Amino acid sequence: MADSHAKQHDYHLVDPSPWPALAAITAFTTAIGAIMWMHEVTYGMAIFVIGFAALLYTAFAWWRDVVKEGEHEGHHTPVVQLGLRYGMIMFIASEVMFFVAWFWAYFSAGLFPSEVGGGVWPPEGIATFNPWHIPLLNTLILLLSGTTVTWAHHALQHGDRKGLVQGLVLTVILGASFTCVQVYEYSHAAFGFIDGIYPSTFYMATGFHGMHVFIGTVFLLVCLLRAKRGHFTSTHHFGFESAAWYWHFVDVVWLFLFGAVYWWGAGPEWT
């Protein structure tokens, strides 16, 4: 009788889970709370904090179950891993579309400055950053982090767990360093978000990227903790591989941001 109920296929039929529904509810609560908070509605901040805390717990519990299914229960067969890869590719493609929107807005204003006033780009009165100072430093940090995460991946593929951990430690440190440098950069900006079209597009593009760097750093930190606990093998490590894909995506986007926003959009004092 037991054999008649054994799985005869490579697909993972997920058990009923509360996390998708809870993720939707908590995300909606977080968004409503954020809107209320920004409009200074009573208890808006409290609703946001509660919703966001619940969302973080839901994400942790959901991903914990996924790790358990793949690492300990053996549900992530080669067929399932292929589906996960397709899913990650589509997710990154959707992220690309976000950045296309920011670049579109930036170039629309930059190539046709008469439409937004002043007839020049950057607009008059905007003191841009020196592209060869802090932006170049952050570029070097991200490029180096791309090298260290590749080192970690290469080490894992060859069974070198020490190299895997060392590469991930360096990548996490570099990712955190990028975030700290960007915070320092923002704190010394000569313009605010509401000071016109240039600041708005600048902060939306670079800030959205900065959020991705932070998320990617957390992603890699989780991989580091898992690696220290003995997770991942040379043939079964999609959790780490997807984190590496995401990090390389972040690297490439930054190169476009550096070239378009910081270098091409630099003021006359830096050109």
Closest C-alpha among 182, 176, 179 to residue 203? 182
CATH of 10-75, one of 3.40.50.720, 3.40.50.800, 3.10.310.30, 1.10.287.70: 1.10.287.70
What average pLDDT is seen over the chain?
91
The model's pTM is: 0.89
Predicted pLDDT at 260: 93
Query: Residue 2: pLDDT above 50?
Result: no
In which band, very low, low, confident or very high, does the pLDDT at 74 lie, cut at 50, 70 and 90? confident
CATH of 76-270, one of 1.20.120.80, 3.20.20.80, 1.10.510.10, 3.40.50.720: 1.20.120.80
Q: Of 74-78, 114-118, 175-179, which one has max mean pLDDT?
A: 175-179
CATH 1.20.120.80 residue ranges for the chain:
76-270
Mean pLDDT lowest among 23-32, 49-58, 194-203: 194-203
Predicted pLDDT at 196: 85
Closest C-alpha among 124, 120, 102, 103 to residue 112? 120
CATH 1.10.287.70 residue ranges for the chain:
10-75
Mean pLDDT lowest among 12-16, 90-94, 101-105: 12-16
Round to whole Å and give the CA distance between 75 and 42. Answer: 47
Chain mean position to CA 246: 7
The rounded radius of gyration (Å) of the Cα atoms in the chain is: 22
Round to whole Å and give the CA distance between 106 and 94. Answer: 19
Round to whole Å and give the CA distance between 143 and 248. Answer: 9
In which band, very low, low, confident or very high, does the pLDDT at 34 lie, cut at 50, 70 and 90? very high
Taking residues 191-210, what's their average pLDDT? 91
Round to whole Å and give the CA distance between 79 and 87. Answer: 13
Predicted pLDDT at 117: 60
Closest C-alpha among 184, 194, 79 to residue 138? 184
Predicted pLDDT at 8: 75
